[in-house]
Chains A and B, each alone.
Chain A
Amino acid sequence: MNGSDIIFYLLAAMTLVCGLLAVTTRHIFRAAVFLLFSLIGVAGIYFWLQYEFIAAVQIVVYAGGIAVLIIFSIFLTQQAGDKLPKQRIDRKIFGALAAFCGFALVMIQVYGHTFFETEEGEVTVSVFNIGKKMLSITDGGYALPFEIISMLLLAAMIGCIVIALRTKKENS
């Protein structure tokens, strides 16, 4: 057990514990902060796997973008200091039961399956290689999905503006 393993277990524990607290705490603001730490833990696992670019994207988009967006929406829709109402116990029990059964089923399948690794050499996941692959239109490049994603983001942006537009009140 060397330092790398210890770091991995610490990151895993941070991710899972913060994720669990994010879905069980009754303070909605704390839930958002726990979610933020869980996302940072996942980014740490990407760093541990030496996928630095994905880890950076994870921190920028999730921790920097989505978490801040969620915190803003909490401030806009929630009274400060309010606790969420207590959940019915039967709903909690059945939710936990369903989640645990699904978890056990998937883990049995995963541990019963043997994965085969390829023998081919490792490609370096540098930003240069990623960019070249993403914008190439030959040999399995990703230019078409890239363009579709950009159209999707544009559509989402216009959709957000249209949905959140303040409609004029009739009786004002």
Chain B
Amino acid sequence: MMQPGLYHILFISTALFFIGVYGFLTRKNLVTMLMSIELVLNSVNLNFIAFNKYLWPHKMDGLFFTLFIIAIAAAEAAVAIAIIINLYRSHNSINVENAEELKY
């Protein structure tokens, strides 16, 4: 095994991204799909931090992008969960196949 470097972290973030994509393609439950999206967002954050650390250590741009992505992810999760709870109230299920119409 080698000294961990940029390529190792890129491997982890790519693997995490496609784990999230796999979950998004196979899951049917809205909450689990939201979890997959969180994994994808995390892999993007990891990428930004790795590039900032190894390629441009004299700047902090990647760090700020990560901070803003985390803030947007928090807002996105809150709105998504409000929608899911509302959907559960009207349809009694959070399966994507039962949520066919946008207005009831």
Contacts and interface: CB of A to CB of B under 8 A. Distances in A.
Interface of A: 1, 5, 8-9, 12, 15-16, 19-20, 22-24, 28, 31-32, 35, 38-39, 42, 45-46, 49, 51, 53-54, 57-58, 61-62, 65-66, 69-70, 72-74, 76-78, 84-85, 87, 91-92, 94-96, 98-100, 102-103, 106-107, 110-111, 115-118, 120-123, 125, 129-130, 133-134, 142, 145, 149, 152-153, 155-157, 159-160, 163-164, 166
A87 B35 contact: no
B71 A39 contact: no
Is chain A's interface secondary structure helix, strand, loop, or mixed overall? helix
Interface in B1-40: 1, 3-4, 6-12, 14-23, 25-29, 31-32, 34-36, 38-39
Given A58-B70, A123-B59, A15 B12 contact: yes
Nearest to B48: A54
A46 B62 CA distance: 13
B55 A117 contact: yes
B19 A125 contact: no
A46 B89 CA distance: 39
22 contacts: A5-B1, A12-B12, A16-B15, A23-B27, A54-B63, A62-B42, A66-B38, A66-B73, A70-B35, A84-B29, A84-B32, A95-B25, A95-B26, A110-B11, A120-B58, A122-B57, A129-B60, A142-B64, A156-B76, A160-B78, A160-B81, A163-B83
A152 B76 CA distance: 10
Given A8-B8, A70-B31, A159 B79 contact: yes
Contacts of A100: 18
Interface of B: 1, 3-4, 6-12, 14-23, 25-29, 31-32, 34-36, 38-39, 42, 45-46, 49-50, 53-60, 63-64, 66-68, 70-79, 81-86, 88-89, 94
Nearest to A8: B4
Given A16-B12, A35-B35, A54-B49, A73 B57 contact: no
A25 B38 CA distance: 16
Nearest to B74: A61
